[in-house]
C-alpha cells in the first residue's frame, strides 16, 4: 500500500483531481506569484480541510488494499490535520518550473551600447526591469523554451513512480502541459479497525507520500504576469540585501553598500592590493559572512520564501570570461582599495608575461548577474571599463 498509493491516487480517474490541482482553486487570497516558491500553506489548508479528499483517500485505501482480506473493516482519521510536509517547494525544488528555466533566456546587454539600461537594472528600477523582463525573458518564445526544458524534470519525476505507458498517457493531459510544480507531499496514515466490539483490533497505518502536480489555472499557459511579479519581488530582495546605488565615474558600473567592516574582516589582508582568483571572489561575495545570510533570510522570509528552495541559492554571482595568448590560462583578477581608503573595487589588468616568461593577457569579457538562477543577465564590457564594481 505504502508504495502503490501515490500511483493509484495519481492515475485512478475518481481521485486524479485531488492530486492534479489548480492554484486558482487553492490559493485563497494569496497572489499568483506565491504559486512558484511558497505554496505549502495553501496545500496544507486544502488537504486538511477538504472532506471530499479525505473520504476519497480512505475509500481508495479500503477498497484497493483491504476489501478482499477484511470484509468488516472501518478506516478513518481521528484528526483533520493529515498533511505533514513542512515545505513542499523546498523538498521538491528540482521539479519546480522556475528552477528549470532555459539558460538561453538570459538577458544579453553591451556595456557600451546599453550602459543606462544596465545601470537601471542593477540599481533595481522596477519600470526598466519590468519592461526588459516582458520583452526578453517572459515572451512567448522564451516561455516555450522553458516549457521544453521543464519537461525533462517532469518526466524524471513521473518515471519515478509510473510505468512508461502511464507516463505517456499523462503527458497528453493539461495537468502535464500546464504544470508549474510537481513533487511528493507527506501525509499521516489513517486508523483501521478490524472486527466488532471486544474482538476488534485497531491499528495506525504508516505515513505515506502522494504525488502532486499543479498548474496556475488549468486552462492556459498564461503565466508570464505571475512570473514577472515574482521576479520583481526577488529584485527587491537583491536591492535590500546588496544596497546598490549610482556612481558618477565612467569606469564604474554601480556601487554596492555593504556593512563594510563586517564584510571585509574575513577577506582583507591589510594591503593596498591583493591578487585573487575569480572563484575566490564569487565565494566571498555570496558567502562572506553571517551578515549576508541573515539579511537574505530576513528579506526572503518576508515573501514566505526560503533560501533553500532555489536550485541556485546565490542571489548574485560574477563570472568573468578571459582570452589568453598562451595555452596556460592564468585566471587572476585584481582586488584593491582606492588609495588605501575604506572603498574597494574589483579591477582587471592586462599583463604582458607571468613570472615564468610566458606571454599572456587577460581581457574582461562579461559580468554575469544571476538572480537565484531565475533571472540571468550577461553584461558584455568594453576594454575601457577595467574597474567593474565599486564598494
- The answer to the question of residue 132 being in a domain is no
The C-alpha atoms of residue 46 and residue 59 are separated, in whole angstroms, by: 19
Average pLDDT rounded to a whole number, residues 116-135: 88
User: Which SS3 state, helix, strand or coil, does residue 326 take?
Assistant: coil
Q: Are residues 48 and 82 in the same domain?
A: yes
The secondary structure element, H or E, covering residue 233 is helix 224-242
State the pLDDT confidence band at 179, using cuts at 50, 70 and 90: very high
Q: Are residues 51 and 154 in the same domain?
A: yes
Q: Which of 174, 194, 223 is the last residue of a domain?
A: 223
Q: Are residues 193 and 239 in the same domain?
A: no
Q: Are residues 279 and 160 in the same domain?
A: no
Q: Are residues 236 and 167 in the same domain?
A: no
User: What pLDDT, on the 0 to 100 scale, is given for residue 281?
Assistant: 57
User: Which SS3 state, helix, strand or coil, does residue 333 take?
Assistant: strand
Taking alpha carbons only, the member of 319, 365, 378, 382 closest to residue 107 is 378
- The answer to the question of residue 301 being in a domain is yes
Q: Are residues 261 and 364 in the same domain?
A: yes
E-state strands within the chain: 20-22, 73-76, 107-110, 179-187, 191-194, 201-204, 208-215, 244-245, 254-256, 273-277, 332-337, 344-347, 366-371, 375-380, 387-390
Number of residues written out for the chain = 391
| pTM exceeds 0.85 | no
Q: Which of 159, 191, 223 is the last residue of a domain?
A: 223
The secondary structure element, H or E, covering residue 290 is helix 290-301
- The answer to the question of residue 351 being in a domain is yes
The C-alpha atoms of residue 252 and residue 389 are separated, in whole angstroms, by: 6
Q: Choose between 50 and 347: higher pLDDT.
A: 50
Q: Are residues 217 and 337 in the same domain?
A: no
Cβ pair 326, 292 in contact under 8 A: no
Three-state SS string over 191-216 comes to EEEECCHHHCEEEECCCEEEEEEEEC
Tens digit of pLDDT for each residue in 146-176?
Answer: 999 999 999 999 999 999 999 999 999 999 9
Q: And the C-alpha cell for 344? A: 574597494
- The answer to the question of residue 131 being in a domain is no
Cβ pair 37, 98 in contact under 8 A: yes
Number of other residues whose CB lies within 10 A of the CB of residue 359: 11
Q: Are residues 346 and 285 in the same domain?
A: yes
User: Which SS3 state, helix, strand or coil, does residue 68 take?
Assistant: coil
- The answer to the question of residue 113 being in a domain is no
Three-state SS string over 133-146 comes to HHHHHCCHHHHHHH
State the pLDDT confidence band at 352, using cuts at 50, 70 and 90: very low
Taking alpha carbons only, the member of 177, 22, 132, 197 closest to residue 377 is 132
Tens digit of pLDDT for each residue in 14-66?
Answer: 999 999 999 999 999 999 999 999 999 999 999 999 999 999 999 999 888 87
- The answer to the question of residue 218 being in a domain is yes
Tens digit of pLDDT for each residue in 190-233?
Answer: 998 877 777 778 889 999 999 999 999 988 888 999 999 999 99
pLDDT at 353 > cutoff 50: no
- The answer to the question of residue 372 being in a domain is yes
The C-alpha atoms of residue 68 and residue 90 are separated, in whole angstroms, by: 39
User: 14: domain range?
Assistant: 5-102+140-223
Cβ pair 94, 123 in contact under 8 A: no
- The answer to the question of residue 323 being in a domain is yes
The C-alpha atoms of residue 162 and residue 177 are separated, in whole angstroms, by: 17
In a 13 Å sphere around the CA of 226, the CA atoms on its Cβ side amount to 19
What are residue 390's DSSP bridge partners? 255, 345
Q: Are residues 236 and 219 in the same domain?
A: no
Q: Are residues 320 and 213 in the same domain?
A: no
Q: Choose between 163 and 360: higher pLDDT.
A: 163
DSSP label of 363: -
User: Which SS3 state, helix, strand or coil, does residue 83 take?
Assistant: strand
The count of structural domains within the chain is: 2
Q: Are residues 308 and 219 in the same domain?
A: no
36-45, 92-101, 102-111, 374-383: least confident range: 374-383
Q: Which of 223, 240, 259 is the last residue of a domain?
A: 223
Q: And the C-alpha cell for 168? A: 505517456
Q: Are residues 78 and 147 in the same domain?
A: yes
Amino acid at each position: 500500500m505504502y508504495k502503490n498509493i501515490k500511483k493509484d491516487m495519481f492515475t485512478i480517474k475518481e481521485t486524479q483531481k485531488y492530486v492534479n490541482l489548480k492554484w486558482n482553486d487553492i490559493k485563497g487570497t494569496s497572489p499568483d506569484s506565491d504559486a512558484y516558491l511558497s505554496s505549502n500553506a495553501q496545500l496544507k489548508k486544502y488537504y486538511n480541510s477538504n472532506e471530499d479528499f479525505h473520504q476519497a483517500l480512505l475509500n481508495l485505501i479500503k477498497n484497493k488494499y483491504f476489501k478482499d482480506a477484511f470484509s468488516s473493516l472501518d478506516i478513518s482519521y481521528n484528526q483533520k490535520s493529515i498533511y505533514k510536509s513542512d515545505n513542499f517547494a523546498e523538498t521538491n525544488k528540482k521539479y519546480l518550473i522556475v528552477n528549470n528555466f532555459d539558460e538561453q533566456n538570459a538577458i544579453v546587454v553591451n556595456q557600451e551600447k546599453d550602459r543606462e539600461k544596465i545601470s537601471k537594472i542593477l540599481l533595481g528600477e522596477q519600470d526598466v526591469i519590468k519592461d526588459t523582463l516582458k520583452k526578453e525573458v517572459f515572451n512567448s518564445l522564451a516561455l516555450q523554451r522553458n516549457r521544453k526544458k521543464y519537461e525533462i524534470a517532469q518526466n524524471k519525476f513521473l518515471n519515478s513512480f509510473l510505468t512508461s505507458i502511464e507516463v505517456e498517457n499523462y503527458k497528453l493531459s493539461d495537468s502535464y502541459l500546464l504544470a508549474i510544480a510537481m513533487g511528493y507531499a507527506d501525509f499521516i496514515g489513517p486508523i483501521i479497525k478490524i472486527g466488532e466490539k471486544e474482538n476488534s483490533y485497531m491499528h495506525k497505518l504508516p505515513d505515506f507520500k502522494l504525488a502532486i502536480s499543479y498548474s496556475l489555472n488549468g486552462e492556459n499557459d498564461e503565466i508570464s504576469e505571475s512570473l514577472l511579479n515574482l521576479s520583481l519581488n526577488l529584485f527587491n530582495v537583491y536591492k535590500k540585501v546588496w544596497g546598490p546605488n549610482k556612481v558618477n565615474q565612467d569606469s564604474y558600473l554601480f556601487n554596492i553598500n555593504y556593512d563594510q567592516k563586517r564584510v571585509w574582516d574575513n577577506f582583507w589582508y591589510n594591503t593596498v592590493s591583493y591578487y585573487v582568483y575569480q572563484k575566490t571572489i564569487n565565494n566571498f561575495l555570496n558567502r562572506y559572512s553571517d551578515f549576508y545570510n541573515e539579511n537574505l533570510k530576513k528579506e526572503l522570509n518576508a515573501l514566505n520564501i526560503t533560501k533553500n528552495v532555489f536550485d541556485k541559492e546565490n542571489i548574485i554571482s560574477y563570472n568573468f570570461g578571459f582570452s589568453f595568448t598562451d595555452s596556460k590560462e592564468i585566471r587572476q583578477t585584481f582586488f584593491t582599495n582606492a588609495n588605501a581608503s575604506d572603498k574597494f573595487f574589483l579591477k582587471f589588468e592586462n599583463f604582458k608575461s607571468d613570472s615564468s616568461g610566458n606571454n599572456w593577457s587577460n581581457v574582461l569579457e562579461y559580468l554575469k548577474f544571476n538572480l537565484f538562477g531565475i533571472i540571468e543577465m550577461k553584461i558584455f564590457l568594453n576594454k575601457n571599463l577595467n574597474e567593474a564594481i565599486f564598494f
